[in-house]
Amino acid sequence: MDDTAPPNVVRLIGVYHADGSLLGELRYWVGARLGRAHCALCDVTHGLVRTKPDWTAARARLGVPFDTVHLDERDPDLVEVTDGRTPCVVAETPDGVELVLGPGDLARCDGSVEALLGSLGRALHGRGMVVDGLG
């Protein structure tokens, strides 16, 4: 085995810039409507109240799971990599987690599922990683 080869991506994890509790979700929803809260990953994955159908379809095409978590749902390893850098997307490998897309990258997607997939594919490719379904 080539020790210089990058580790395989076993899972992608999107971290929302909001808490997942009922109060956290309500606080975010109201804050977003009043212009006081924003999460660029939420813009990609959700419409006003539910998951976008094109996001569900895109996740199904990927060769690895793409899970999403809220700030209060992160495990300690994920907190270490993402704290102060949300929303974001990380790649989980057998060696741990690595930040792949940060808040600015997600903001540039402007709510587009296809833009997220393109940015993610380019970012992984730049690290020598490939995920089926990202081109």
Owning domain of residue 51: 11-126
pLDDT tens by residue, 43-92: 999 887 789 999 999 999 999 999 999 999 999 999 999 999 999 999 99
Residue 135 has pLDDT above 70, yes or no: no
11: pLDDT strictly greater than 90? yes
In a domain? residue 25: yes
How far apart CA 125 and CA 123 sit, in angstroms, is: 5
Higher pLDDT, 10 or 39: 10
DSSP codes, 9-28: P-EEEEE-SS--SHHHHHHH
* 21 part of a folded domain: yes
In a domain, residue 134? The reply is no
Q: Are the C-beta atoms of 11 and 76 separated by less than 8 Å?
A: no
- Counted domains in the chain: 1
Q: Determine, yes or no, domain membership for 5.
A: no
HSE toward the beta carbon, residue 7, CA cutoff 13 A: 11
The predicted pLDDT at position 7 comes to 62
How many angstroms separate the CA atoms of 97 and 83, rounded?
13
Residue 131 inside a domain? The answer is no
pLDDT at residue 114 tops 70 = yes
Helix/strand/coil for 128: coil
Residue 132 lies in a domain: no
Domain-embedded: residue 79: yes
**CB-count burial class (<10 Å; 0-12, 13-18, 19+) for 126:** exposed
In a domain, 1, yes or no: no
Q: How is residue 78 written in tokens? A: 């994920």
